[in-house]
Chain A
Amino acid sequence: MSSTIFILLRQELLLSLLIFLLLFIKIGKERSNESILNIINVLLFINLAAGLFGSSEGGAFNGMFTTNAFIVLEKNILNLAMLLISMQSYAWLKSHKQLAEFYLLLFTSLLGMFFMISSGNLLMFYLGLEMSTIPLAAAANFDLAKRKSSEAAMKLIISSAFSSGILLMGISFLYGTSGTLSFDILTAHISNNPMQLFGFLLLVSGFAFKISAVPFHLWTADVYEGSPVAVTAFLSVVSKAAVLFTFTSILYKVFTPIATVWYGVLVVLSVATILIGNLFALRQDNFKRFLAFSSIAQVGFILIGISGSSQTGSASLVYFVLIYVFSNLAAFGVVSVVSALTGKENISDFKGFYKTNPFLSWVLTIALFSLAGVPPTAGFFGKLFLMMAGAAKENYGLITFAALNMVISFYYYLKVVKAVFMDENEQPIQKLSIPVITKFAMYICIAGIIITGLASMVYDYIYSLSIGM
């Protein structure tokens, strides 16, 4: 009995072990930053590799914690993203004094996300959510001396506390109408009861805050701009992916009886999210702000896929998130290197970038093509499957709208490519020497962008594991 708990919780336990190892590294003998970074990257690689072997199915702690092969896969994707972020922020962290604390915060946040994804109970879900957001607010403030960084952290903690207040109000109404917090029992009590619908709407708005869907997106751009690039990458990829996974599984598992209600909610949210995300991305000059609005627009497309409410829906979500990890982190990797070595973060600074840094320019271009969804890259297939999942509801107006917005998104993605390759600049960014490990991470991202799109077994594998409604 006791050994099964170790097997079920093995990813969480391994991550906790890493946190303790970090504490020992911190209080142990003085080491150079390079050696600590190498140790951490090796540990993260072991963490990722250990997660890939075998999967277990079952529950622990009286149904509080559940896991299956699909959830293990989702956690592996998050582990992969964490490893890539760590490899890419090498240049920035090499000269940072509080290196160990940075990883402590991110690992704690990741652990919270793991518990959130495999929660089987509203209490466990809330604890996981808070465990993942509170350390992130501290991490957003990691450039202690920068004014923008503290402003970003203030905005993040206030808006996330507000959103969790709304979410809790929703949970309390759900509890009041059903008398249970467990997902399995809750499903049987869900009906069109007005109080329950109100609670459900509050719960959805709490979620929408975390994934920055449109009426609740206002914090996103400011927080992304002010935080250090590594934290921005974590916020836009890992944190968003974890909440999307949880959102989907709660919608599909718990709120099945009111599927027509949440289909309407998702349609409204996705239309607003795609439109506003695209229109605001058009006018940005700061690269991180630009990627923030582009990620808002991507969430809109993901919501269309989720609204399909079928096995294709959850499979296409995970497939798209995997591609999104590769393409967004490739873009963030380039921004991270440039920002760490030169301090420049504006798109206008990237003019003439190709003349001095051809490798980084190609990485950035492939990543942006994938985000825009140009066919040979994986981003196209990801969006295709999301649209296919959404089209199952036969709401073709919505799909047409999304397809038209994909065309709009081409404009701003290709504008950056034009600035990099064609625009003249008298003082382009000088030739940068990229750390080997960062270069390796970029190769992984590029390989991922190309292979996940072309190798059909990736999607088939995800589809075989995924569970519909």
Chain B
Amino acid sequence: MNEIPLTHILFVSTALFFIGMYGLFTRRNIITMLMSIELMLNSVNINFVAFNKYLFPDKLDGLFFSLFIITIAAAEAAVAIAIIINLYRSHQSIDVDDATEMKF
């Protein structure tokens, strides 16, 4: 069996990154926007692990970096959800179109 080449994996991760970006720009529900951001962060994780496995198998930097990204993404999501709960209390909605008091 042939090994999957690195370019295929990079294609997947880049596609995932831009799918996440597209989701962030088009979705109007804040929870879904948060999920899109997680998608972007996970594509970076794929990148790091793939680079580590294919190009620098004797190093561990990339693996450690992806572990830290996972941890920090969790912390970020915790704070974001706390903020969203508070937003829901004041606006009775988690739609970004309803939170438009400040413009220009």
Contact = CB atoms under 8 A, between A and B. Distances in A.
Interface of A: 122-123, 126-127, 130, 134, 137-138, 141, 144-148, 150-154, 157-158, 161-162, 164-166, 168-169, 171-173, 175-176, 179-181, 221-222, 225-226, 280
Interface in B10-27: 17, 20, 24
A299 to B, nearest CB: 19
Contacts of A171: 44, 65
A169 B68 contact: no
Interface residues of B, number: 42
Contacts of B17: 165, 169
A157 B76 contact: yes
Given A158-B37, A179-B59, A181-B61, A144 B80 contact: no
Interface of B: 17, 20, 24, 30, 33-34, 37, 40-41, 43-44, 47-48, 51, 55-56, 59, 61-62, 64-65, 68-69, 72, 75-76, 79-80, 82-84, 86-87, 89-91, 96, 99, 101-104
Contacts, number: 120
B102 A138 contact: no
Contact of A165 (B20, B86, B101): B20
Given A169-B47, A175-B48, A179-B55, A154 B101 contact: no
Please list the 9 inter-chain residue pairs (A to B) with the smallest Cβ-Cβ separation, ordered nearest first.
A165-B40, A172-B47, A176-B51, A168-B44, A222-B102, A150-B87, A179-B56, A151-B99, A153-B83
Contacts of B75: 130, 134
18 contacts: A126-B65, A137-B80, A144-B86, A150-B90, A151-B87, A153-B86, A157-B76, A158-B24, A162-B37, A165-B17, A168-B44, A169-B43, A171-B44, A171-B65, A176-B55, A221-B102, A221-B104, A226-B102
B65 A175 contact: yes
Contact of B102 (A123, A158, A175, A225): A225
B62 A123 contact: no
Q: Which of B79, B83, B99 has the most CB of A within 10 A?
A: B83
